[in-house]
Amino acid sequence: MVGATRGFSRYSPSPTTGANATLLDVIRSLNGSTTETVERGKTIFFPGDPAEKVYLVRRGAVRLSRVYESGEEITVALLRENSLFGVLSLLTGQRSDRFYHAIAFTRVEMVTAPATSVRKAIELDASVGLLMLQGLSSRILQTETMIETLTHRDMSSRLVSFLLVLCRDFGVPGNEGITIDLRLSHQAIAEAIGSTRVTITRLLGDLRNAGLVQIDRKKITVFDPLALAKRFS
């Protein structure tokens, strides 16, 4: 990781947990909080690593996956800006092991805080715990969406479902449609949905030839998400 900037302010409930408080406000106020930048493709933590920090995505996307005994790695969530992760450490203790592999799907900027500091903040102010619970709930919904995407056995349907998720979570509306605000290689997409680069290249070519998507410098624009969904429903 590069670009870590330490903060030494101690948590104080009054300035951070008012009606307009956000998770970012709280985490930034904690003793030991840092800002970290991770380049695309780099690991944030591995399964089995001690769970000592809580993370909040500020920019970019983080891929969470599970690695099974067979060696297969399955994506369980693709986290967007303002997503919270690493909260298992709050539930099971600071030194518990990670269950997930967290990797920077794009270049990522995160704000992190020691689990011990977060736990103390929750003990001091219940509203902090509510913010954390809301963040965890959002993460669970993202996981459910990704699992639903990966249940499609047909790879073309799986790709379409994944593109629709990206449109929802990372899409920027424009004159031509919804542009996914991530620079995605075919290999990155393949890894996210359990396919191969060759297959993804072929399937994206089919979608482009059908007039459903446009690809420009690794940015994908979906002209009409409803048409895309209906075409492969």
Whether 135 and 225 share a structural domain: no
- Enter the pTM of the model: 0.75
- The HSE-up count of residue 200 (CA atoms within 13 Å, CB side) is 21
Give the phi and the psi of residue 181 in degrees, each rounded to 5.
-80, 50
CATH number of the domain to which 29 belongs: 2.60.120.10
Q: Are strands 43-45 and 2-6 parallel, antiparallel or unpaired?
A: unpaired
Residue 150 lies in a domain: no
Residue 104 lies in a domain: yes
Residue 25 lies in a domain: yes
Write down the pLDDT at residue 208.
Answer: 94
Write down the pLDDT at residue 4.
Answer: 47
Write down the pLDDT at residue 223.
Answer: 96
Whether 55 and 84 share a structural domain: yes
Whether 9 and 68 share a structural domain: yes
Structure-token match 């011990």, residue found = 116
The domain boundary, picked from 142, 171, 191, lies at 142
Distance of alpha carbon 110 from alpha carbon 213, whole angstroms: 31
Write down the pLDDT at residue 218.
Answer: 85
Distance of alpha carbon 43 from alpha carbon 79, whole angstroms: 14
Write down the pLDDT at residue 232.
Answer: 64
Residue 80 lies in a domain: yes
Residue 148 lies in a domain: no
Whether 69 and 11 share a structural domain: yes
The domain boundary, picked from 142, 171, 201, lies at 142
Whether 183 and 123 share a structural domain: no
Domain that includes residue 188, residue range: 155-231
Nearest to 117 by CA among 175, 206, 53: 53
pLDDT tens for the chain, residues 1 to 233? 444 444 434 444 444 455 567 888 889 999 999 999 999 889 999 888 888 889 999 999 999 988 777 777 778 888 988 888 887 666 665 455 577 889 998 899 999 999 889 888 888 888 888 888 887 777 777 777 777 777 767 899 899 989 998 998 899 999 989 999 888 889 989 988 888 999 999 999 999 999 999 999 889 999 999 999 887 65
With beta carbons less than 8 A apart as the criterion, state whether 90 and 132 touch. yes
How many structural domains is the chain composed of? 2
Whether 33 and 113 share a structural domain: yes
Whether 62 and 170 share a structural domain: no
Terminal Cα-to-Cα distance of the chain (whole angstroms): 41
Residue 149 lies in a domain: no
CATH number of the domain to which 166 belongs: 1.10.10.10
